[in-house]
A and B are shown apart, each in its own frame.
Chain A
Amino acid sequence: QKEVEQDPGPLSVPEGAIVSLNCTYSNSAFQYFMWYRQYSRKGPELLMYTYSSGNKEDGRFTAQVDKSSKYISLFIRDSQPSDSATYLCAMSARNTNAGKSTFGDGTTLTVKP
């Protein structure tokens, strides 16, 4: 079983919908949680990161971490066609090099106009 499991999708929603993307993990040492967006044939780009439990908001994006349940989510409000991409969650432990994060396998999102 992988340390990080991500809903595989694909996910297709109409423009303007609220999108929920989720990951679960098994390693209780993970304390840093990241969300990356990867467009087709491009490299991942960091969207948001959070430390430990709680919520973090950035524009239309909200990242949520529940360490007690080992569950993280990314919410996208008012989704746009330009949000169509693969979303990767990633996690690292406190004393781990951030570049050595453990990634989920990604959820592919399509937002239809």
Chain B
Amino acid sequence: GAGVSQSPRYKVAKRGQDVALRCDPISGHVSLFWYQQALGQGPEFLTYFQNEAQLDKSGLPSDRFFAERPEGSVSTLKIQRTQQEDSAVYLCASSLVVQGPFLGNTIYFGEGSWLTVV
């Protein structure tokens, strides 16, 4: 596709509800990242995939958060039993190559999924 596509753009969930956020990376991009951006703050890393392999999930805040990328393209971030502190924008990003130390390979962000837990 032309860019990283995320859906839904906006989601209101009742506390305790499970949500699933979808990310369609740019076609052919090997690396995929998920971030959480709270209001007025910068993005915080959640997890990283290289193709279908989840190589780093150190940023996931609790075991209620789960991400997958089963075929190495589309990824889903799932949040179980949502809580109010989960309210944030969830950003997905992809890049063409394997990301090691910064090589100037651009990371492309989607527009985010805005989650509000009420």
Interface residues of A (CB under 8 A from B): 4, 6, 32, 34, 41-46, 49, 51, 88, 90, 92, 94-101, 103-106
Contacts and interface: CB of A to CB of B under 8 A. Distances in A.
Contact of A44 (B31, B104, B109, B114): B109
Contacts of A94: 101
B36 to A, nearest CB: 11
Given A32-B102, A43-B91, A49-B104, A99 B31 contact: yes
Contacts of A32: 101-102
A27 to B, nearest CB: 15
Given A43-B109, A45-B109, A99 B33 contact: yes
**Closest 8 pairs between A and B when the two form their complex, measured CB to CB:** A103-B42, A43-B109, A32-B102, A98-B102, A99-B33, A100-B45, A105-B41, A98-B99
18 contacts: A41-B111, A41-B114, A42-B111, A42-B112, A44-B109, A45-B109, A49-B104, A51-B102, A88-B42, A97-B100, A98-B101, A98-B107, A99-B48, A99-B107, A101-B102, A104-B42, A105-B40, A106-B42
Contact of B106 (A4, A46, A101): A46
B contact face: mostly helix, strand, loop, or mixed: loop
